[in-house]
Chain A
């Protein structure tokens, strides 16, 4: 029911999805939804589907969610399924984890993942390690979700990207979606998964429209955890990224079309377990690699990808050393110019691509 004007308003890079491996066989999707809608719908459907699923977090019920991610859910499902908590992350993350151990399937929302640091002991020591320590006796089917990384002008304490901290830990599954289809399919998969999942959203794109197929809108649409997606096929260079970084890669790819540089954009979708095969296959084809992420450079997602490529037979296919594009290695400033230049921009990606391609 969207007008043509709305379609045109969609991010220009969406049009490139036409060339990607899409779940749908249609050339151009008819419907669009925002990331927010995708996430709200996914939660609504899973709460309806399985009695054991419930949402817990600050402002998730009567406020409709701090970022309106749970809009309408409390009205529809009530107090039992949508639970407002006090501002006590360590306490409610522990309660949610205990409820999961006892057989429920909680969605524990952190208003942002910055606040998850107060509760990180429960995410790692209580949730991630329980199945292993108990030799399989204790399952923890919990999803920890919320916005991760920078917003706009919120300062250093509210802008950290936790992708690498969580993706380092065995026992967790860590998902970092990009598109609305990613969010729908992977959040549903996460809720249905019996292992603890960290689901890293990005607040900057909550309002972004994405085309979505009917299949992706169906109630049982799930995407496989641990499998990436080629968002844009290309032959000259592989750009491996996750979350909002994929958007940056697609923008850079579009700009470089003019220069005759054809970029392949890999949307990792999941960080743990990491789909290294999709990156290797792409590198073997393009012979060049740049990784793009918004997190800090040291021990980042890009570091891990490059290490794995170099340790594998894909190394022999490289025609140039792989390099990374990351956030600046500083706490994030508030002032607009400083903030913008602390986060990767299209120019950083293009410069890196050209260097790698020796252009």
Chain B
């Protein structure tokens, strides 16, 4: 998962200057590389080559290693990643103040994956993931308020507080799933529906390095390939399945190579533009009738598995800090945008202030809105309750009549 990127900024016709910069080594025995960043004047695009961003399995050609974005996209992606980062920080704090209960699995560090992938998805594409879902929930259209209020169990939460951290839904977004691996065949099923209806959409089905060993994942691979389902299977490999490193859980930790009959791409999941480019490639593959594809996003989570795991008993603090310093998806992207003169430090500071406000507003709802009335515990069991349906409560004297 450790890698280094040699960054070369494409020269633009008028007025360039060459800057020399030391590129920090990322735990690699290879000596320091000198990278050259050419500053673009006029600053219309950020462009660079990322030759080590991908590894291919059963593919002659892969996604383009030349990636770019314009100012608008750059600022948008930055803001979205920052919203997710700050939202998860807020969840962390609220959990510690006991406003959030049960399970809470934070996405911090993995932002480039959800923001980058969504940047390549069509608005009618579908997505399903596991329980580390808050970042994806935001990208699939739920507001920060909808997420934080759901975490605190309020009726303004996106599932009215019925689901909690692991069960948030939106149009084309099938959660949030608590059972490890179950979301993968479900995602293949959503892809089946797209194909059945003749739609040119994909379903992105995400799972972690821990879930990658589930039998039902391979069952889903088999049927997806047999029936050429437009499903992109994405392993968000953050190196650890709870407290077990991928090396200790997987005889073959190259998750993109796990299927001998489905092509795969390993992607540097900390490089948002590489993620987006790879997703474009995979999407093109799947929607052209070639069947499924597997992607492995090499990423990292800063927090432990969940709020009850400090995350330091199975890895060192140095490792975590090292990734933060040298490979953080947000700071590294911001630096690139600044160096390409697409935006200034001040503009980023202003975005950060906007983001802070968004989170604070959401927190206010999450902390002050009320829960559902207790009678509501009986609703939404059936979408079509039969006539005169009644539900039993906790004793023989407690029944709720349900009528539709």
A297 within 8 Å of B (CB atoms) = no
Within 8 A of B (CB), among A134-155: 134-139
Q: Once the chains bind, are A134 and B159 in contact (CB under 8 Å)?
A: yes
Within 8 A of B (CB), among A39-97: 54, 80, 83, 85-86, 88, 90-97
Q: Once the chains bind, are A171 and B162 in contact (CB under 8 Å)?
A: no
In the bound complex, what is the Cα–Cα distance between A203 and B396 (angstroms)? 37
Q: Once the chains bind, are A131 and B383 in contact (CB under 8 Å)?
A: yes
Known: A98-B188, A99-B192. A131 touches B381 (CB 8 A): yes
Q: Once the chains bind, are A126 and B186 in contact (CB under 8 Å)?
A: yes
In the bound complex, what is the Cα–Cα distance between A91 and B214 (angstroms)? 11
Known: A98-B189, A99-B189, A134-B163. A91 touches B182 (CB 8 A): no
Contact with A along B22-39 (1 / 0, CB 8 A): 000000000000000000
In the bound complex, what is the Cα–Cα distance between A122 and B186 (angstroms)? 9
In the bound complex, what is the Cα–Cα distance between A195 and B402 (angstroms)? 15
Which residue of A80, A91, A104, A136 contacts B185 across the interface (Cβ within 8 Å)? A91
Q: Once the chains bind, are B382 and A171 in contact (CB under 8 Å)?
A: yes
B384 within 8 Å of A (CB atoms) = yes
Interface-central residue, B182, B184, B203, by most chain A CB under 10 Å: B182
List, in ascending order, chain B residues with CB within 8 A of A126's CB.
177, 179, 182, 186
Which residue of B167, B169, B186 contacts A98 across the interface (Cβ within 8 Å)? B186
Which residue of B128, B177, B186, B380 contacts A135 across the interface (Cβ within 8 Å)? B380
Which residue of A80, A91, A133, A311 contacts B163 across the interface (Cβ within 8 Å)? A133
List, in ascending order, chain A residues with CB within 8 A of B191's CB.
98
Closest A residue to B168 by beta carbon equals: A134
- Chain A nearest Cβ from B85, distance in angstroms: 26
- Chain A nearest Cβ from B307, distance in angstroms: 20
Within 8 A of A (CB), among B157-172: 158-160, 162-163, 167, 169-170
Within 8 A of B (CB), among A88-134: 88, 90-104, 121-122, 125-126, 131-134
A194 within 8 Å of B (CB atoms) = yes
- Chain B nearest Cβ from A248, distance in angstroms: 27
Q: Once the chains bind, are A86 and B186 in contact (CB under 8 Å)?
A: no
Which residue of B174, B177, B193 contacts A104 across the interface (Cβ within 8 Å)? B193
List, in ascending order, chain A residues with CB within 8 A of B182's CB.
94, 121-122, 125-126
In the bound complex, what is the Cα–Cα distance between A131 and B378 (angstroms)? 12
In the bound complex, what is the Cα–Cα distance between A138 and B163 (angstroms)? 12
List, in ascending order, chain A residues with CB within 8 A of B220's CB.
91, 94-95
Q: Once the chains bind, are A136 and B126 in contact (CB under 8 Å)?
A: no
A193 within 8 Å of B (CB atoms) = yes
Contact with A along B225-236 (1 / 0, CB 8 A): 011000000000
Interface-central residue, B158, B160, B203, B382, by most chain A CB under 10 Å: B382
A331 within 8 Å of B (CB atoms) = no
**Interface residues of B, CB < 8 Å — how many?**
49
Contact with B along A270-299 (1 / 0, CB 8 A): 000100000000000000000000000000
Known: A85-B223, A91-B222, A138-B174. A101 touches B189 (CB 8 A): yes
- Chain B nearest Cβ from A43, distance in angstroms: 17
A344 within 8 Å of B (CB atoms) = no
Q: Once the chains bind, are A134 and B175 in contact (CB under 8 Å)?
A: yes
Q: Once the chains bind, are A95 and B192 in contact (CB under 8 Å)?
A: yes
List, in ascending order, chain A residues with CB within 8 A of B391's CB.
170
List, in ascending order, chain A residues with CB within 8 A of B178's CB.
125
- Chain A nearest Cβ from B146, distance in angstroms: 11
Interface-central residue, B186, B190, B387, B391, by most chain A CB under 10 Å: B186
B326 within 8 Å of A (CB atoms) = no
Contact with B along A169-182 (1 / 0, CB 8 A): 01101000000000
Which residue of A121, A135, A136, A193 contacts B179 across the interface (Cβ within 8 Å)? A121
In the bound complex, what is the Cα–Cα distance between A132 and B162 (angstroms)? 7
Contact with A along B204-218 (1 / 0, CB 8 A): 000000000001100
Known: A135-B162, A138-B169. A86 touches B222 (CB 8 A): yes
A225 within 8 Å of B (CB atoms) = yes
Which residue of A97, A139, A225 contacts B186 across the interface (Cβ within 8 Å)? A97
Interface-central residue, A91, A92, A93, A125, by most chain B CB under 10 Å: A91
Q: Once the chains bind, are B223 and A133 in contact (CB under 8 Å)?
A: no
Which residue of A83, A131, A134 contacts B382 across the interface (Cβ within 8 Å)? A131
Q: Once the chains bind, are B163 and A94 in contact (CB under 8 Å)?
A: no
- Chain A nearest Cβ from B198, distance in angstroms: 10
In the bound complex, what is the Cα–Cα distance between A139 and B219 (angstroms)? 24
Known: A80-B196, A88-B223. A134 touches B169 (CB 8 A): yes
Which residue of B160, B196, B380 contacts A54 across the interface (Cβ within 8 Å)? B196
- 15 A-B pairs besides A92-B223, A98-B185 with CB distance below 8 A are A88-B223, A91-B188, A91-B216, A92-B219, A102-B189, A103-B193, A104-B192, A125-B178, A126-B179, A133-B159, A135-B162, A170-B381, A171-B381, A195-B384, A311-B396
What would be 7 A-B contacts, judged by CB atoms less than 8 Å apart? Answer: A98-B187, A98-B191, A104-B192, A104-B193, A138-B174, A193-B384, A225-B386
The 3 A-B pairs at the shortest CB distance, nearest first, are namely: A98-B189, A91-B219, A94-B185
